[in-house]
Amino acid sequence: MSVFGIGIDVVEVARIESSMAEFGERFAERVFTAGERSYCESQKRPAIHYAARFAAKEAVAKAFGTGIGGELGWLDMEVLRKSSGEPELRLSGRGAELATRHRVARVMISLTHAEHYAAANAVALTGGDDKLEDDRRQT
């Protein structure tokens, strides 16, 4: 696999709390999928988890080099959790089309959060590399 792009983003949790207080469900429904909202709302401090997902989406947009807008929308990306707790990204709609167009096979993400900040990074990977796969099988 080859790196197509990388992205990073940091979000102040207070900024997300403020948007949630001011715009409520309108903000949440515009930026987060139903699954993301359900997960965040089930947590003790939902805003921290919303902030981490917001940062992840910004990081993914940077990895693609598009920003959020015409080619990639908020709801074209969904941050999920594997049973291990590891975050993973699902692309749909314009996000899936963008990945196909650029031959991006996988987008890896990492999230972190603390009391006041949340951060994420994303790495968009293209195609497959037989040598890399062979190396992994031998270890």
List residues with catalytic annotation.
62, 113
CB neighbours (10 Å) of residue 103? 11
List the structure tokens of 23: 């715009």
27: closest CA among 9, 45, 15, 39? 15
Say how far apart CA 117 and CA 15 lie, in whole Å: 10
